[in-house]
Structure 1
Amino acid sequence: MAKIFQITSFDESELEQLIHNSVIRALQNWQPPKDPPVHKDFLTRKEVSSLLQLSLPTIDQYIKTGILDAVRFKGRIRIKGSSIASATETIKSLRYKRK
């Protein structure tokens, strides 16, 4: 099926109004992302990585610096679910920190 495009000319004020209305409509439908719920007491590095949308090396770095509270169970690293909620504010501020 062929798509038909119609090209019309707008003066500057009409184009500005069209863009303004489109942005207003988009912002009215936008909702901020919600913090991910944490249901488990301990999560794996991979689970935390997908929840926070961070790479595994970044998760490891946050564990080393103490931002995320982790423990070892039988040689496996587990991150406390309670520490994730408190660490999200710190992590958000670190993402935009200048070096």
Structure 2
Amino acid sequence: MAEAPGPTAQRGMSVEELLALPVAFSLDVSNRALAVGRTKGFDLARRGEYPVPLIKIGNTYRVSRASLLDLLGVADNSEAAAVAPAAASSEQTTQPA
């Protein structure tokens, strides 16, 4: 009888984990979010067939959070939340005395 996979074998990411990602991150992190194995992910990247645009820096691949969230259909409300307070403060009205 096979044992259940341990916590290190977790595939995919929750929405909370996705939204907590930095602006750009490694291909390994993206592979985990997409539930793609490491070998398959790097093979797709090498062939130019990775499902999101990649940023190549030297021998390293990076993935932007915006591209990954867009592919997965997850709304990134952190940008809207950062803009909303600024917009609200500029829309203050003065009341006549």
Q: Tell me whether the two structures share a fold, i.e. TM-score over 0.5.
A: no
- TM-score bin (small chain): 0.3 to 0.5
* TM-score, normalising length: structure 1: 0.44
* TM-score, normalising length: structure 2: 0.44
Larger Rg: 1
Higher helix proportion (structure 1 or 2):
1
